[in-house]
Amino acid sequence: MIGLYVTVPIASFRRGAAREYWETLPLPSPSTVYGFLLSMVGEVDRTCHIGARCTAGVIGHPDESTVLRKLWRIKDKKLGLGNGSNVRPDYQELLTDVRLVIWLDSSEEVTESEGTLQQRVAASLTTDGRSRISRFGGLSLGESTHMVDEVLPIQRAPELADESVRMFLLDKSGNFTLPVWVDHVGSSGTRNALGRLIEVGFEPPDVSRLPKIQDSKVLMTK
């Protein structure tokens, strides 16, 4: 298992059911964390590391604000993106000064074509490993405009010793559901994990309580 300390100056982790008013979750879902890690290592195939377990915890309480911004939507396929009825102002919740802890474990990954995701993330944190990564644009978490400020191995963030973190961990009697896989065409393939936000320290959590990245369609064809 590997732990990361991640900071994002401005972020929004949109709730799946949000429509005109874009509410934010207090922290990124496992599916968002997984996408962030794939981007970090330059992987464009999101099925490459099925079976990885990952989750996030938020440190402290980021400031919340609401902004009115121009958002795109498809109301008329004949019009281009951002034109006419395909654009309108809507409210969006933002978080500022977001500090996160991310845990990743690859012991149950289905494929290891280029090494496990855990190995690739660990390599990306080294100067030599980072120089071999080919990726697109800047590193973001959530929306593409919400750029990450820093990513460190958790051992290199000693200032965290006196703080606590609210971590999303699996719990069959939990009260919080977050996606581990999002079906971007409809929602029939979206998979969720049931858990709760638990206040913990900075020690690695029990692996069995980390949400597992699973895509039912891919697993059926393996």
Over the stretch 143-187, which tens digit does the pLDDT of each residue have?
888 999 999 998 877 667 678 899 999 999 999 999 999 876 666
pLDDT tens for 24-68 read 999 999 999 999 999 999 999 988 899 999 999 999 899 999 999
Q: Record the pTM.
A: 0.89
- Is the pLDDT at 88 greater than 60, yes or no? yes
The reported pLDDT for the residue numbered 112 is: 59
Per-residue confidence (pLDDT) for residue 218, from 0 to 100:
55
Give the mean pLDDT of 74-85.
74
Determine the Cα–Cα distance for residues 138 and 85; give it in Å rounded to an integer: 30
Torsion of CA 97, 120, 51, 204, to 10 degrees: -50
**Mean pLDDT, residues 125-138 taken together:** 89
% of the chain at pLDDT higher than 70: 91
Give the pLDDT of residue 201: 85
Is residue 216 over pLDDT 70? no
Q: What pLDDT score was predicted for residue 221?
A: 47
Contacts 24+ apart (CB under 8 A), 154-159: 154/3, 154/4, 154/5, 154/101, 154/202, 155/3, 156/5, 157/5
Does 81 or 2 have the greater pLDDT score?
2
Q: What φ, ψ does residue 9 adopt, rounded to 5°? A: -60, -45
Strands 176-181 and 63-72 turn out to be: unpaired
Q: Which residue has the tokens 């030599």?
A: 128
